[in-house]
């Protein structure tokens, strides 16, 4: 997992409440057993005017010019500003995969669905919870200033605006540790690989029959 310490990026506003995971990545794209290639279909039904399906050539699609991510001023955005209950609906982990593979590293919202919130951290995305008043002010500023960008300092736990104003945020210490060190669940386990290897070696030495496989 990519480490997260300091991130500066353009902010894209998703001015809708209760954005569910089927909107983030529609169900037809869940057929893939790979963890890659979902970014091109992020918000597919809002982002394009034609129906989308797995394996489709993106260059043949018809973008919706009114959708926020298709507007030139938000090109290359890596911070998504959202309203309450973002990521509700089904528990599909494909939703944070799609957001990450599109290029989003930070989410800002008043609240998230619990499973989506957890999945985001586990996939290297930082979902921050901010008060409604702060979120609303950020929406106003994003709409008012093209190219609006923020810097997110995870170590200091502050969001820094262009003029230097800082917005503090809370994040659980363990989640912060994992992001700063680039550790997902597998990475956390591999910290103990030497102890695991020693345990397996001892287990096979005392119970050698475990090394044998059952006949087909």
3-state SS of 15-37 is CCCCCEHHHHCCHHHHHCCCCCC
pLDDT at 213: 62
Sheet holding 158-160, edge to edge: 126-129, 106-109, 79-82, 6-14, 149-153, 158-160, 166-168
Q: Which residues contact 27 (CB under 8 A, 6 or more apart)?
A: none
3-state secondary structure 57-108: CHHHCCECCCCHHHCHHHCCCCEEEECCCECECCCCCHHHHHHHHHCCCEEE
Q: pLDDT tens, 166-179? A: 999 999 999 999 99
pLDDT at 183: 87
pLDDT at 125: 97
Q: pLDDT tens, 130-168? A: 999 999 999 999 999 999 999 999 999 999 999 999 999
Q: How many CB atoms lie within 10 A of CB 2?
A: 11
pLDDT at 34: 78
pLDDT at 192: 72
pLDDT at 215: 57
Q: How many CB atoms lie within 10 A of CB 76?
A: 9
In eight-state DSSP terms, residue 215 is: P
For the four alpha carbons of 178, 182, 184 and 188, in that order, the dihedral sign comes to: negative
Give me the residue spans of the domains in the chain. Answer: 6-183
pLDDT at 11: 98
**pLDDT beneath 70: ranges in the chain:** 212-216
- DSSP helix/strand/coil, 148: coil
Integer Cα distance of 105 and 12 in angstroms: 12
Class of domain 6-183: alpha beta
CA 91, 92, 93: angle at the middle one, nearest 5?
110
pTM: 0.89
């Amino acid at each position: 997992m990519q480490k997260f310490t300091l991130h500066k990026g353009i902010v894209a506003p998703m001015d809708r409440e209760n954005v569910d995971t089927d909107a983030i990545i529609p169900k037809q794209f869940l057929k893939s057993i790979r963890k890659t290639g979902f970014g091109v279909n992020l918000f597919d039904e809002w982002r394009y005017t034609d129906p989308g399906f797995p394996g489709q050539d993106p260059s043949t699609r018809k973008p919706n010019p009114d959708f926020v991510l298709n507007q030139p001023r938000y090109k290359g955005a890596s911070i998504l500003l959202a309203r309450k209950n973002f990521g509700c609906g089904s528990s599909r982990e494909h939703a944070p995969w799609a957001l990450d593979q599109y290029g989003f590293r930070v989410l800002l919202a008043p609240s998230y669905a619990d499973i989506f919130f957890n999945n985001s951290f586990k996939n290297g995305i930082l979902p921050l919870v901010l008060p409604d008043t702060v979120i609303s002010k950020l929406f106003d500023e994003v709409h008012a200033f093209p190219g609006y960008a923020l810097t997110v300092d995870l170590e200091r736990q502050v969001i820094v605006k262009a003029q230097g104003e800082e917005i503090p945020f809370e994040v659980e210490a363990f989640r912060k540790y994992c992001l700063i060190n680039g550790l997902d669940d597998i990475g956390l386990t591999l910290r103990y690989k030497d102890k695991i290897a020693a345990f397996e070696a001892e287990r096979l030495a005392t119970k050698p029959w475990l090394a044998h496989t059952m006949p087909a």
